[in-house]
Every structure is written in structure tokens, then in C-alpha cells.
Structure 1
Amino acid sequence: MVNLKRTREDILASVLDLIHHQGFQSTGLKELFSVSGTSSGSFYNYFQSKDELAHALIDYKWQQIKTHIIKPAAEHTSDPIAQLVWIIDRLEAKHLTEPDCGGCFLGNLIVDLAKYDTSFQTHLIQVFDQWHFAIAQLLRQGQTQLCSDIDPDNLAEQLMNAIEGTLLLGRLYNHPNRLQRGFDNVRQMLKAALKQ
């Protein structure tokens, strides 16, 4: 007989897409139980509350980004600037393959949860600071390729802002050309910072 018991990770994976497109606060517990295929008892074995699920989803999504987007860049090239371009290209490809652009999952949670409870604001700041650090670190490693007046930390912040803005407007317009233009602008911003 097949064991239908769901693991904590199964639950996170199964509810991610629903929350990504519908929003966390707009999603009821009954919907979460239904989509995850768990009873309330099983759900509460893993998460004491819906808010605890949200915190777990933040960590789960950030781990996915690190595992599937940030870390693999180094396997493709040792050039840190080329790694950053690969990350940008990978983000674009990921969002272009979605049938209905949901924007950035973590960015959506900023709008949905940051003012709802300060613990979410703190948690999301920690994650976005790590994102910023990862991009800035690549820029620092490739600083010899940057123009002399470029500050890697400032450029990393500008790139992050441009990526998040692209994904937010991508969700609004829900058109692949809009996403592609936005990511082209991100790449152009990086290219403009490089020595000619």
C-alpha cells in the first residue's frame, strides 16, 4: 500500500504555487489543506499556525533560489561577471516559462506580509540582504572588469531593484515581451558598469 503521509517539504512544495499567484493572506486554511492533501491534524504537526507556514515558505523559496539559481552559476563559468549574467538569464527563463507570470514569490510576500507582522518584515529583510550580498560578492570578485567609479554594493542594489521591479511589472502586465524588456534593461545596466 502506498504511504500517503505528506512530509513538511511536500506541504511547502504543494502550496507554493497557489500562494505565489493568489497571495498568502487571500488563501484560507481549507484551501491549504486541500491543495497540500493534508488534514488539519497533519498540517498542524508541521506548522503551529498559518504564519509559521509563511515563515517556512520564505526559507523554502530562498533555499530553492540558492540551490537552482545562485550556486549552479559557478558550475558554468569561473568568471564572476559571467556568473551574474547567467543568474539574470536563468531568472528570466524561469519566469518566462510560467504560464501566468506570478512575479517574484518573495517580492509578493513583501507586499502581502511585511506590514502585517514585523516578524515577516525582519525575515524578508534578512533574505533580501543575503540576495544582495550574493550579487555584491560576485561584483567584488569581478571588480577588475568594472569601471573604476563603480561601487559593487551600490550596483548590486540597483540590479536587485531592477530585477524586482521587472518581476512586479511582469506580474501586472502578464506579457512575455514586458519581462524580456525588463531583463534586457537589467543586463544593460550591468554592461554599462563594465570597462569597454
Structure 2
Amino acid sequence: MVNLKRTREDILSSVGELIHRQGIQSTGLKELFAVSQVSSGSFYNYFESKDELAHALIDFKWNELKAAILIPAMNASEDPIANLFWMIDRLEKKHLTDPNCAGCLLGNLIVDLVAHDSSFQEHLVQVFDEWQNAIAQLLQAGQTQLLPNINPEKLAEQLLSMIEGVLLMERLYKQPARLHRGFDNIRSFLKAALC
């Protein structure tokens, strides 16, 4: 076996796909060692436990999502509503290009971890609040394009819930056409809130 010197980020990157597919509770430590190509000693140099790995993976994947989609969406154009549509389109494309889409890893971890330890609930609430706030900021910045009765914070909550629902259903059905219809419904919902 090749002995590769791995970094903490390398380990997180290598185990992400496995955990995305089968969940962290269903993934044994031996599987984590094998897929990351590290010994148990090296693994424990970076993570004291599987729970610590899970918390690190939440941050790692959230930072990837922010860098690839949320931060660019905040500045894609001068039109904040167009930027929100860009975010939705980019999320759809990301999941359509994965032939074995297993939904949203962060959403999956809600089901996998929240009942396991309350610290995961707190951690994931912070992540999803940040995501919802980013959507709300775009809606607030584009409020002149919204119907007068639309509350940007409530609409942001609805949009995020719809996104996560579509991705959860994709994990179940594994049908790209259904995923596309789901994202079309999200776009239609947002369009209905516009003047």
C-alpha cells in the first residue's frame, strides 16, 4: 500500500463523497481510513473522533458551496434578483452534472446527525441560517422588484426550504427530469413574487 502524506483538507476531500452517499453514521472508521488512504494514527492526528470529522466536514463542504455558488451569486451582476436566479441555476447545474446525485450533503447530515448529538443541530442551524441570510440579502437589495406584500426574509426561508426539498427528492428518485422540474418550480415561485 502506498503511504501518502495527507493533510486535514485532503482527508475531508477524500471522505466527502463516501459520506455523501451513505451517511456518516453508516460509515465505519475502517472505510474512512481506506478511502482517505491514512492510517488510524494519522487520522487521529487530525480528528479526535468521527464526530469531530463530521463537524469539520460540515465546515469544509459549506465553505466549498459558498466559494462556488453563494459568494459569486452576491456579485454576479448589479441586479440582485438576477443574481438569485443565477444561484438557483448554478445549484441545479451542480446537481444535474452528478449522475449519482445523493441530494445535498449538508441536508443529508441534518437527517444523519441531528438526533445523534445536539452540537450538530447547532452547527447546521448556523450554516443554513447563513445560507438563508444570503438569499434574504439578495431579496432585500432587490426589494423594488418584489411585490409590495412580499417579506424578503420569509421568501428566503421558503426558497431555501424548496431547494432542500427538491434535493431530498432527487436523492430518493434519482431522476434528472424531476430535479429539473423541481428547480423550475423554485424559479416560478420566485417569479410570482416579482412585480
Superposition pairs for residues 154-165 of structure 1, below 5 Å?
A: 154-165=154-165
1:89 maps to what in 2? 89
Is the contact made by 2:73 and 2:86 (CA closer than 8 Å) also made in structure 1?
Answer: yes
Is the contact made by 2:69 and 2:87 (CA closer than 8 Å) also made in structure 1?
Answer: yes
| Distance in 2 between residues matched to 1:119 and 1:73, nearest whole Å | 29
Asked whether 1:20 is paired with 2:48, we answer: no
| Distance in 2 between residues matched to 1:145 and 1:69, nearest whole Å | 22
| Distance in 1 between residues matched to 2:33 and 2:99, nearest whole Å | 24
| Distance in 1 between residues matched to 2:59 and 2:76, nearest whole Å | 25
Residue type of the partner of 2:12? Answer: L
Is the contact made by 2:3 and 2:38 (CA closer than 8 Å) also made in structure 1?
Answer: no
Runs (4 or more) in structure 1 with deviation over 6 Å come to: none
| Distance in 1 between residues matched to 2:31 and 2:99, nearest whole Å | 21
2:29 maps to what in 1? 29
Asked whether 1:132 is paired with 2:127, we answer: no
How much does 1:72 deviate? 1.4
1:184 maps to what in 2? 184
How much does 1:191 deviate? 0.4
> What's the secondary structure of 1:38's corresponding residue?
coil
| Distance in 2 between residues matched to 1:89 and 1:136, nearest whole Å | 17
> What's the secondary structure of 1:77's corresponding residue?
coil
1:58 maps to what in 2? 58
TM-score (norm 2): 0.97
> What's the secondary structure of 1:87's corresponding residue?
helix
TM-score (norm 1): 0.97
Q: Report how many residues are paired.
A: 194
- Which consecutive residues of structure 2, in runs of 5 or more, have no partner in the other structure? none
> What's the secondary structure of 1:149's corresponding residue?
coil
Superposition pairs for residues 53-132 of structure 1, below 5 Å?
A: 53-132=53-132
Asked whether 1:6 is paired with 2:6, we answer: yes
- Percent of aligned positions that are identical: 69
How much does 1:78 deviate? 1.6
Residue type of the partner of 1:145? Answer: Q
- Which consecutive residues of structure 1, in runs of 5 or more, have no partner in the other structure? none
How much does 1:76 deviate? 2.8
Is the contact made by 2:136 and 2:152 (CA closer than 8 Å) also made in structure 1?
Answer: yes
Residue type of the partner of 2:185? Answer: N
| Distance in 1 between residues matched to 2:186 and 2:152, nearest whole Å | 15
Is the contact made by 2:23 and 2:109 (CA closer than 8 Å) also made in structure 1?
Answer: yes
